[in-house]
Structure 1
Amino acid sequence: MKTYYTSGEFAKKAHVSIRTIRYYDQKNLLKPSTHTASGARRYTDADFAKLQQILLLKYLGFSLTDIREMTLGSGDRQLLLDSLQIQKRLVEERLKEIQNVAAAIDSTSSTLKAGHEVDWSKMLDLIHLTSMNQSLSTQYQNASNISARIKLHRDYSLNKEGWFHWLFRQLDLKPGMKILELGAGNGTLWAQNLDRIPKGLTIVLSDISEGILADAKNEIGDRAEFQYAVFDAQKIPFADNTFDLVIANHMLFYCDNIPRTLKEVKRVMKKGASFACSTYSKRHMHEITDLVQEFNPEIVLSSTNLYDRFGLDNGAEILSHDFTNVNCHKYEDAIELSESTPVISYILSCHGNQNSILLDHYNEFKNYVDDKVSDGFHITKDVGCFICKK
């Protein structure tokens, strides 16, 4: 038989006040399982499980409106998962900020002990700069941020073929080829096309992050044709004339020295081999930038305009210094949606200053994005792939 608790017993069991229990009832967050003939509330252990969820999500920073929308216990589990991932990133950013403050305190204390004058403005700048650098350095320790970006494109793009299937077709793979992918990330290009891979290929997936390559191994599974290597693309640890195809999918613009990287790519390519490198233009997803800057003009989603370093508008000229037959293939697509969570996840996955600014304004920002996308939100995509020859 079910055990029923009075409001007082239920509140004591959860270490909250009776007033809190009644408030959650009024807000339609937690209704009692039953009432007595006189109208008194009665709760069960199942209600206690729901209350635990509410208290946990409230502790993590979700508003009561957010919690109610999640329809705890029987609602959209993916929405709950996505929302938790957003909150986790905000918590991680808070931890990094605290670590930066602690480091600044230590530095200031050392300065004072040494009898030197403290430049307080410099110390404040150090906190902000360290936060930005840490955000960039931890961006690719695993694939969680990449997954947030991929999810927005995968679930809401108008082109149903999908970027990775389209890009795979452009590669024109042949049996027996030896392939190197630089900055392979979590291996999605291959994981989504495993049934299309010709026989006899040797595929080396590389990345500067060991954590990301671990994610790639998990995605692809135990396949004999795949090898994994951690290295910087500016110093490729393979002999001259090794590969039939080299791939750089949205990664060249991250390289500190693009000309040096391209010379390394050319060196390891066989004569007549192909180099496929994708990128985007300044028009790509500009609505996202417009959205956050309208909320707060101080938000910068990227410390560098990557398309200025290597984009659709200047890529052909850059590649022409080392390669021949440079051709640009455009991927026709756009994003349309009316949900805020995927947009927010994407924004928080960027490596700008947005998380430190939005950290204390998350509910306000979510309400703002909710309003902006409620009647539909269109995002321009201007992306493509250059294919050239050695």
Structure 2
Amino acid sequence: MKLPGYYSSGEFAAKAHITKKTIRYYDEHHILKPSFVNENGARFYTDEDFARLQQILFLKYLGFSLDDIREMTMRNGDRSFLSESLHMQLGLMEERLEQMQLMKQALQEASESVDHGDQVDWSHMLQVVNINEMEQKLKNQYLNSSNISARINLHKEYTANQQGWFPWLYEQCHIRSGDTILELGCGDASLWLENQERIPQNVRIILSDLSDGMLRDVRRSIGTDDNRFCFDVMDAHQIHMPDQSVDLLIANHVLFYCENLQQVFREVKRVLKPGGVFICSTYSEQHMKEISELVREFDDRIVLSADRLYERFGKGNGKALLEKEFSHIQWVQYEDYLNVTDADALIAYVLSCHGNQNRYIVDRYRDFRAFVKKKTDKGFYITKDAGAFIVKR
């Protein structure tokens, strides 16, 4: 019987210009599952599955292995995945083009050196044309972008506080015309993209991150014609700014990743002007606790984060750590909670975490989705206990 809006596996393969054998392989290896399987085992696909297949074929074209692709596309059930996926694919393609241009330049320089009888720096050239390293960087960049989007989207879609985290955090900054602002670990720059119209024109904003690929994504998102922004690959332990040159320094959910917090604080103190402000956000052990409880109920081997980050720099101990370098410290609470009613959004968040969850979910994805769907049918309450320390130099 033909289901309205569905394609049989044969129709789907024909429209996608691939073989039924490939479709079956993707199904068996949990890369692309059918949207519906009837009681006779017949598989059916939808237009959304074409979008997912497009993403798979694109990543395959870029050279990623099927194991990589499975990991990179596992959160595709999220409602917002299509727009984000296309945006990230565009970023990957631009990144690949930039890297290929560097390879072309290296080959031209080597060819010219050989033609002129000069010595070629083969070590440097091999480093430039290292395909494996290039693909790993692209994969990490894609996963980082995808993970950040999944975490932000859950908060954005299901927050009780309609103001939203980034508009709230922006208000804590009290930005003035003429300020020099530095953000450490800017990620995808949501703080600035969500408040772009509120930022004064006469400011200088330096966005920094450890990932040069992330910064290239951010530069594309903000646009090259906004001269308020500049970008710098930077480690918080060694800030590329002169002494007493920054009016406002922001570290949004970043400090608990730093190896030597006191070194970071010394650097922050060094670059802040007298009267300058340091805003550093974090959370407590209660924050999002229900999600960890949920996955442990499904499989008690799952740990969403190997490190309890709030123990390194959290709401409970942050002030004591900051007091070793600063005197004027205030905690500001962000009042909020989540009520999640969509299983796919919650699953996307779980898969974005820095733990071992993929090891135990990937082969039981259907079971996990059914488990989460049952939990979210009537709304799934999640505690939020986060805010920011406002520190004055």
On whether the aligned pair clears a TM of 0.5, the verdict is yes
Q: What letter corresponds to residue 356 of structure 1 in structure 2? A: R
Task: Determine the structure 1 residue equivalent to 2:280.
Answer: 277
- Structure 2: how far apart are the matches of 1:77 and 1:27? 16
Identify the match of residue 377 of structure 1 among 377, 380, 386.
Answer: 380
Q: Cα gap change, 1:333/1:278 in structure 2, threshold over 3 Å: closer, same or farther?
A: same
> Secondary structure at the residue paired with 1:359?
helix
Which sits farther off after the overlay, 294-303 or 56-65? Answer: 56-65
Identify the match of residue 232 of structure 1 among 224, 235, 245.
Answer: 235
Give, in angstroms, the shift of residue 268 of structure 1: 0.7
Which sits farther off after the overlay, 152-161 or 47-56? Answer: 47-56
Cα-to-partner distance string for 1:286-335 (whole Å, 9 max, x where unaligned): 01100111111111111100001111111111111111221111111111
Identify the match of residue 58 of structure 1 among 16, 20, 27.
Answer: 27
Give, in angstroms, the shift of residue 30 of structure 1: 3.5
Q: What letter corresponds to residue 335 of structure 1 in structure 2? A: L
Give runs of ≥4 in structure 1 deviating > 6 Å: 50-54, 67-71, 75-85, 93-96
Give, in angstroms, the shift of residue 90 of structure 1: 9.3
Give, in angstroms, the shift of residue 91 of structure 1: 4.0
Q: Cα gap change, 1:234/1:89 in structure 2, threshold over 3 Å: closer, same or farther?
A: farther
> Secondary structure at the residue paired with 1:361?
helix
Give, in angstroms, the shift of residue 336 of structure 1: 1.0
Q: Cα gap change, 1:270/1:368 in structure 2, threshold over 3 Å: closer, same or farther?
A: same
Alpha carbons 1:82, 1:341 under 8 Å: kept: no
Task: Determine the structure 2 residue equivalent to 1:157.
Answer: 159
Q: How does 1:57-136 map to 2 (within 5 A)?
A: 58=27, 60-65=30-35, 72-73=46-47, 91-92=67-68
Give, in angstroms, the shift of residue 279 of structure 1: 0.5
Alpha carbons 2:188, 2:218 under 8 Å: kept: yes
- Structure 1: how far apart are the matches of 2:152 and 2:189? 12
Alpha carbons 1:176, 1:202 under 8 Å: kept: yes
Give, in angstroms, the shift of residue 48 of structure 1: 4.5
Q: Percent identity?
A: 41
Alpha carbons 1:148, 1:345 under 8 Å: kept: yes
Q: What letter corresponds to residue 322 of structure 1 in structure 2? A: E
- Structure 2: how far apart are the matches of 1:377 and 1:330? 23
Task: Determine the structure 2 residue equivalent to 1:198.
Answer: 200
Identify the match of residue 147 of structure 1 among 142, 146, 149.
Answer: 149
Identify the match of residue 356 of structure 2 among 353, 356, 381.
Answer: 353
- Structure 1: how far apart are the matches of 2:57 and 2:367? 17
Task: Determine the structure 2 residue equivalent to 1:14.
Answer: none
Identify the match of residue 241 of structure 1 among 234, 239, 244.
Answer: 244
Give, in angstroms, the shift of residue 62 of structure 1: 4.5
Cα-to-partner distance string for 1:25-64 (whole Å, 9 max, x where unaligned): 48994379xxxxxxxxxx9x89943897994873654544
Q: What letter corresponds to residue 189 of structure 1 in structure 2? A: L
Gaps of 5+ in 2: 59-63, 73-135
Cα-to-partner distance string for 1:121-180 (whole Å, 9 max, x where unaligned): xxxxxxxxxxxxx99x94787422111111111111111111000000010000000010
Give, in angstroms, the shift of residue 236 of structure 1: 0.9
Task: Determine the structure 2 residue equivalent to 1:187.
Answer: 189
Alpha carbons 1:70, 1:80 under 8 Å: kept: no
Q: Cα gap change, 1:90/1:50 in structure 2, threshold over 3 Å: closer, same or farther?
A: closer
Identify the match of residue 291 of structure 1 among 275, 289, 294.
Answer: 294
Q: Calculate the aligned-residue CA RMSD, in Å.
A: 3.7
Identify the match of residue 265 of structure 1 among 264, 268, 271.
Answer: 268
Q: What letter corresponds to residue 182 of structure 1 in structure 2? A: L
- Structure 2: how far apart are the matches of 1:379 and 1:70? 35
Give, in angstroms, the shift of residue 72 of structure 1: 1.8
Task: Determine the structure 1 residue equivalent to 2:305.
Answer: 302
Structure with greater Cα Rg: 1
Equivalenced residues, count = 315
Alpha carbons 1:93, 1:355 under 8 Å: kept: no
Give, in angstroms, the shift of residue 234 of structure 1: 0.5
TM-score (structure 2 length as normaliser): 0.71
